[in-house]
Structure 1
Amino acid sequence: MSFLQKNFAWLMVCVLALFPLIKIFSLISFNFEYPEFDFILFDDIELAEQVALKTGRDIIPGIEIAIEQTGEWAIRWLMAVLMITPFKIVFGTKSNLFVRQAMGISCGVYVFLHTFFFLYHEGFFAVVSDLPLILSGISAIIIFALTITSNRRSMKLLKRHWKTLHRLVYFAAMLTIAHVVLLNKDWELYSTLFCIGLIVRFGPVRQFFQTQNLKLLLLNQFKTVSTLTKIRRLS
């Protein structure tokens, strides 16, 4: 088996994680000539006339786009990581540890960038100035800790405490969703996925799906439909 075949899923996670960064970093340039200005510069985005009339603004600062985009991708990757186990329970699939780690690290990278851009734009003390920002700050610290320890060396070092530490991801997710809700952002999808994940993990529900073997039922159903379709075509 070639390296590409063996690590295809891991590579796909990396590509998906890097792709949005191309757009985000395209807004960034570095100032090496004029020390009186900021070292990191962000290109502003000019809005179309119709959009400008609806939003009441002609230009969106590039730093705001960077903060918003990294925040959105951070919570998307966080939800993706949390949905691995429910998906495994429902469909009986096998989870790849390296793929899970890649998704977790992708989440950590976006959380780091989101935090960095915000602190660069607003300053450190802005984090403790508002409840949504305090919640996101606590969540970011937890995710940083989980990202740093997402390796085999940390697993061996922390031993049984490693699982205890990484269960804090649920607390981080709750803080993140609360952060999004308080900021009046789109939170319905994220909260729904999080609740579904908790329900599927619940003992009786987990046992139901594990005994039903939904993956096998779907495969049998697909085979039945394919067979009927072939019979109809022949007749």
Structure 2
Amino acid sequence: MISFARGAPAPECLDAELLADCARSAIEGDASVLAYGPGGGYAPLRAWLGTRHGVEPARVIVTNGGLQGFVFYAEELLAERSGRVLVEAPTYDRPLKILARLGADVRPLAMDGEGLDPDTLERELAAGKTSFLYTIPTFQNPSGRTLSTERRRRVVELAAAQGVPVLEDDPYGLVRYEGSPPPSLHELEGGELVTYASSFSKTVAPGVRVGWFVAPAGLASRLEARAVWN
């Protein structure tokens, strides 16, 4: 039986032996990995991810899974910028529960057969002050839709015109079996307003609890500070 209850790899797909070898190699190569580390996470991993995303390592924050990073991001943005949080309808339920706990004013954005509708986003941005937009443009959860490059450009342009930060959640981007991936919102915008989030939960193993956020420099330092406190 295949369960569709949650987005998690089947246990038989998890290479425990390989992960054990990786952990052993990391510890034997640098015993400091067992000591207290910086708030932003393991430095070599931050450097590798920074190279992958074309940013300085200081802009990469390693988190205990993507949801911990979402909590940090939402707390920081809602404190800095009062206003509504725009989300796709439907969207991943865990962020909705976190936003409800934080008392956020969540506004759903209708999707069509291609995903988030930029016209709907434009109208909602004009309707009132917005704290940030949360979106899953690639293999959206739960619809599975992927936003076209054309729509991605429009979303970025609309957010930039209003100065609205965007959190791009991309846990499924590497789980692609055919075709070429479209550019991320982060790549299209340049990382001044768009924060990119992903994790190894779908590609390595959910139990390792490792996610990462690529944020604008100022926001990255504040997220790192929150990681130290938490």
Q: Structures share a fold, TM > 0.5?
A: no
Give the strand-richer structure, 1 or 2: 2
Band the TM-score falls in, shorter-chain normalisation: under 0.3
- Greater length-normalized contact order (CA 8 Å, ≥ 6 residues apart): 2
Q: TM-score, normalised by structure 2?
A: 0.23
Give the helix-richer structure, 1 or 2: 1
- When Rg is computed on C-alpha atoms for both structures, the one with the higher figure is 1
